[in-house]
Amino acid sequence: MSEDRFGTNGCIKTAGKRGQCCAIAYGFILAAQLGMAKELLNSFSAIQITCIRCLVHLCCIICYSSWNDTQRYTGYDTLFYLVSSVTGCLSWVSTSATLYYLQVGDSTALELGATVIFTALLGHCFLSERVNKLDYVILLADVIGIILICKPEFLFGNKSVITEESTQTIYGSLIALLAGFFVSIWSLFVKKLSNKGTLNLMLLMFFQGIGGVPICLLLSFFFDSWTTPSSMKAWLLLSTFGFTCLLQGLVQAIALGSEDVKTVAISSTISTVLTYVIQLAIFRASFDIVITFGATIITVTMVIMHIIRSLPEEQ
């Protein structure tokens, strides 16, 4: 056996472990962030919450971004960064708006399920990624999980009566699916940047601040009005939320930098499980075995899909 004189294997193992540790931290941070966003909606609008997140990226990430290699970026790279910033902002707005209508755990699971479906479809259409029979089975299971969480009236309720609760569930489910769609587009362009070797995660977050702030200001003219609560608790929670947004971005950059597919599976699984814990323990939502089973299916299908995509393709 050849000797690893320069400790390369050890460095790779250390980077992998660091990426997995950051993925675990990312899962916890994301769950806490979504819980805070749910609580903040009592005092702020979804657009305000998203604008704060964009401002954090714009004001803080710029201090840590490296501008040394920006000269090698082409016009297409800049376009990809801008599209990623727009879709990233719209996904944040949609995620926050979903929490108006759904519990935090249900919202997270639905968005995750939609992301799995749209990522597979967009990857097949624009990245020429293969979709085999096992992928179809996984996507079908994912759709079943989404249906179980949504619990449409024509399957689970009185077909002749549409209640206010069911209407809110429909609105929330549609917005969660839209959020998953935006996340998938964001992932598509991030992957294009990665394939070209021009992906800088710090620069990406900075662009999300550049694109996000004007988008939030524009959306505020058509949707939620901005509020200024007098409660110190609300402002303290908003400040904590902004700090976790910055921390999430930094931890995400380290986790994804490990290029280990397990980091994605770990963080998504942890965040989904913890948001359901928050939903039951903090927001006192009732336990629904059907919805929980649907969320479990979605989480498992996501993990399986990422594992399959990490395997080398047969020649």
Q: Which residues contact 279 (CB under 8 A, 6 or more apart)?
A: 103, 104, 105, 106, 285
Residue 286 has a CB neighbour count (10 Å cut-off) of 8
pLDDT of residue 94: 93
Looking up tokens 């996507």 gives 139
pLDDT of residue 224: 65
pLDDT of residue 106: 93
pLDDT of residue 286: 87
| Residue 6 belongs to a domain | no
pLDDT of residue 53: 86
| Residue 219 belongs to a domain | yes
Please give the residue range of the domain that contains residue 271: 21-62+75-310
For 99-126, write each residue's pLDDT tens digit. 999 999 999 999 988 988 888 888 778 8
Q: Which of 88, 60, 61, 40 is nearest to 215 (CA)?
A: 88
CA distance 48 to 227: 8
| Residue 152 belongs to a domain | yes
Structure tokens at 78: 């800049």
Ranges in the chain, pLDDT < 70: 1-20, 60-72, 153-164, 224-225, 252-266, 309-315
Structure tokens at 66: 């490296």
| Residue 10 belongs to a domain | no
| Residue 247 belongs to a domain | yes
Per the structure, how many domains does the chain have? 1
Q: Which of 30, 94, 77, 54 is nearest to 206 (CA)?
A: 54
| Residue 2 belongs to a domain | no
| Residue 119 belongs to a domain | yes
For 202-252, write each residue's pLDDT tens digit. 778 778 888 888 888 888 888 766 787 778 888 899 889 988 887 877 776
Given 3-state DSSP classes, what are the helix, strand and coil percentages for the chain, each rounded to the nearest 5?
80, 0, 20
| CA dist 116 → 25, 68, 211, 221 (Å) | 22, 35, 25, 32
| Residue 5 belongs to a domain | no
